[in-house]
Structure 1
Amino acid sequence: MTTNRRGAQLLMATCAALIEAIGQHMPACPYRDYVTWAFSARNPRQREFLQATGVLQLINLNTTVLSGLFEDDDWPALLLLTGRMNAYQVLEVISDNLALGLGGPALDEAAAQRRALVSSVNRAMIEALVPGRSTPAILLLAGYAQQAAQSASMFSQSLVATKHAEFARDYAHHLSSQGRPVPNPGELEFGVWPSLVANVEVCRELAGALDGTATEGLLRQGLTDRYRSVERTLFAEHLSRLELGALGAQTILVGPTLAYFLGMLLEKLKPAKAYPAAVSDGSLSEVLTDASLLVRLQNDIGTRLLQLAPVQQAAQLRRLDDSGDLFQALASNDEVMFSRLQKDVRNTESNVALWHPRRAATMAEAWTAFAESLNYYAGMYAYHSECLARGLAELDNRLGDRRASAVIERLVRFHERMYSHPHAESIGEYAI
């Protein structure tokens, strides 16, 4: 079967998993009806919607990572399991977008309220991920979270606000053309709470998908660490560059995603005899941490800037006008080299290289802190790239099976290529 055909099947499986999750876990409301329609073939702009919600990039990632690593007989099971992971990640993007605008130290009242909402979601996720806990997400997110969510615009809290507003208008026209009642626009724009409820429940189900395997704890811990680390990143007043790197490696979903795929391939579908021992003694965790850190740095700083030698990096910084405002200089610079930083400055997103400059007392100190952060993280990137290469080679030798190293390396290289492109181009948009 060709890669294109498998990609098409993955797309269908992902949409089916999303529609199933929405129907099963999202409280009844106009927003639930809207997203069910938007993810379905009934939406004439379905492909645009899938692009805007990150689905198409996830399919690109899936086909890149999984190609050639399974038998044809295993494809139906792999299709189902991958669709479920994708459904979680798409819902997670919606939740994650609530943190847009929260990357700086000074928050206005609306941003502080939204940060408290994100914190409520983090705590709900952590509770739901505890084995044996079954409190429904609708209760975990009741009260303050439900009230605060009513003030969070799902349109403005995204990187493609105009597109989402257009999709909502298309849905209204669709209903009107059929003589059906049209919901108040605010019910769609401010309908994030039902999505958060569904996100928590889908995450809970995903964590249980590998129960009984050696990877079970690795997946569940990785998901829990993500939400704990997001919490610390949002509220901490003092963080070293080392801490920021470590937290960033946990807040990005690389570790849990890799654990999920490895558990599927090397335990559920075609077991590798030596794999459970590599999980239990921490060897696999070391490799996953290196991979997670590399993708975090690629995401925040950009592949091209990270891979420059110190003297070349300094030359690139000199091309910026360091006599003025650092953040204005980055926001207005359209060079590919600074694309990731431009995006995070414009949207006030969390970024390891911008954390210290944003807290500098003067603009001169901000420029200095920025240069020091870039130099520090470029060194970290080079070191952990070497660690990953060694770790993958050792994993190959230990397992006598290249599937694990192939999955990990492919995922890192996928993001390495993706984050070398402008963030506004479809090829440069996020995957996880």
Structure 2
Amino acid sequence: MLVFEFKAYGKSIQFQAVDEAIRTAQFVRNSCLRYWMDNPKKNKYDLNKYCAVLAATFPFADELNSQARQSSAERAWSAISRFYENCKKKITGKKGYPQFQKDCRSVEYKATGWKLATDRKSITFTDKKGIGKLKLKGTRDLHFYSFTQIKRVRLVKRADGVYVQFCIDVDRKENTEPTGNTIGLDVGLKEYYTDSNGTAVENPRFLRKGERILKRSQRRVSRKVKGSINRSKARQILGKRHLKISRQRKDHAVKLARCVVQSNDLIAYEDLRIKNMVQNHCLAKSINDASWYQFRVWLEYFGKVFERVTVAANPQYTSQECSSCGEIVKKSLSTRTHACKCGCVLDRDENAARKILSRGLGTVGHTGTFALDASNASGELTSTLAGEILPQQVSS
């Protein structure tokens, strides 16, 4: 499944209709959640049927496309099923009991309720909300895909405008020649990552660099009177600042992950529990700024696309254990050089990366020189759920 995003252009009254459609989707989702709370034995299909009851009861809900209402009900069931799964797995702590949504920013249509122009440069929403025709602007070309391949269309509201997302049903595969290279990655705060070959990539620190502008924008929001137009404008400017940093992180993670996957047949990385790591309030901001998990998700994705093997290795004692002899050499965080009695002297992160690679090769059942052909590459070999949020990850 590919997701292509385009910026939408239209009149202000059309964007007001988009806001109304999003608020209706939020109402349907929260109503379905309340219906489940009052009737815990109801299932996914009962929530879909309840959408028809809401449409018959509330005229504004009837204005939204029927399949868009079902998509909102599916969002409610997604939160419910996630809660059930966490209970079955007996995850410690909170199980993620479904909560009512307060700030919805998207509405999703299925096969009906929209019509894409033949030139693929505009889209018309045909339900009773009155959104009408929106012009599309983006870098992707939809002419390569038929209308039947478009399974979902989303309207997403962001700080800098409204976007239209197309979910296209296609199996993306790219054939590349095997490189014969294997690599282990040790992520960090000083360097974004250090590989087993000793190559270090600089940590961009997008949040730290833009923090001064963010603080100034936040102060301007705080000075404005609550509920005023000037405060709304200041909040929009602040949202754009955060959106820019978010896009910088994603762009950096995507390009770096693609480069790493294309250059190696096997990539071993740390199976980190970032949710636990950010509990250290001294390093939480820097850890979140590094966005290691986003980098990992894109590594696993490109591993499937290019048919490479990605392995999540146990990170325990990788910084302390010698990559040459296996001896434990205790060191504090301030000690950046690994020096073992066997004569191995390496940078601390390079030693950890070599140890991660060794564990990754042990996971796939191969030692020594590694050679992998495309037929044996099966994507990621990980002890956690690929593409899921961290609280859903299972233990190693």
State the TM-score, normalized to the length of structure 1: 0.28
Q: Which has the higher contact order (CA 8 A, sep 6+)?
A: 1
Which structure has the bigger radius of gyration? 2
- Could you say which structure has the higher strand fraction? 2
TM (norm. structure 2) is 0.30
